[in-house]
Structures are given as C-alpha cells and as structure tokens.
Amino acid sequence: MSSIEDAIQQLETSASKLKKLSVEESRAIRDAVKEATKEATSKVKDEYKEKKSQARKEARDAEKAIKDAQARIQKALGSEKAASTGGKRAKRGEREAQFVAYVKENPGSKLADIARGIGVQNSAANGLAKKTVAAGKVKKSKEKTYTAA
C-alpha cells in the first residue's frame, strides 16, 4: 500500500471513531439531562409540597376561625338556641293531636308551616302527616297542603 492509501484508511478509521464518540457523547448528554431533570423535578416537588401543606393548614385554621367568629356573633345576637335543659318528651299521641288541631285552625297549610306552628322539625312533621292522613284525620291535596277531614 502506498502512503496515500494508508492515510485514507487512517482518515476513515479516525472519522469512524469520531462518529462513534459523537453518538456516545449525545447519549451521555441525553442521559445526564434526564437524570438532572428528574433530580430537579423531585427537589422542586418536595419544596412545593411543604409550602402547599403549610398553605392548606393556614386555610383550615382561617376557616375554623371564621366559623368560631360566626358562632360567637350568632350567640351574641341571641339567634342561637339556649342549651337544652332536658325538656320533657311529648306524651303518646300529643304531637298528632297538635298536628290535627293546627290543621283545623289553619286549613291549607303546608307541612313546613305546620312543623313551625307545633314546634317540631320538618322530618318529624312528615311522619305525623303520614300517620294522620292514613288515619283519615287530615287530607292532603295535590298542592301538598293539608285540611281537616
């Protein structure tokens, strides 16, 4: 072989090595970027996780403070009911009689009005209404108003 052919072969070998090294370098850079991105992302997430946790705690505390303040205001205005002193339970049939009496005095009343009028919750009045309608003491219209039978 001549020196020119040797030089060409050496040039081709060097070019091949350079190409391999460039590919390896690109892969190494890509891997390094991936790893650095993972680490940076993890670090940032951890940092913000603590900050978000603190912000949530502050929001809960503020919400509790607002509710407490509302309760104090309502109590000061007297809109909150006084503590129960252990009132007596109504006797058997007493509420039903009150329901019928209210309907007789106020025909065409709606259930919520009757409940307020006799001093029971709507759910309790609903049970009373079903009993009195079934017993035929009271009639319920399509408009959901009650009249004495």
d(CA 115, CA 125): 5
Q: Can you list the alpha helix ranges (DSSP code H) found in the chain?
A: 3-77, 94-105, 111-118, 122-135
SS3 109: strand
Domain that holds residue 36: 1-80
Domain-ending residue, one of 80, 109, 139: 80
What is the layout of strands, in order, in the sheet containing 109-110? 109-110, 145-148, 138-140
- Do the domain assignments include residue 88? no
Q: How many domains does the chain have?
A: 2
Residue pLDDT, tens place only, 54-76:
999 999 999 999 999 998 888 88
d(CA 76, CA 64): 18
Q: What is the pTM of this model?
A: 0.43
Buried b (16+ CB within 10 A) or exposed e, 17-50: eeeeeeeeeeeeeeeeeeeeeeeeeeeeeeeeee
Q: What is the mean pLDDT of each run of 10 residues along the chain (149 residues)?
A: 87 93 95 94 90 93 92 78 64 92 94 92 93 94 92
How much is the pLDDT for 1?
A: 66
Residues 71, 102 within the same domain: no
Residue pLDDT, tens place only, 83-99:
555 567 889 989 999 99
Domain-ending residue, one of 26, 55, 80: 80
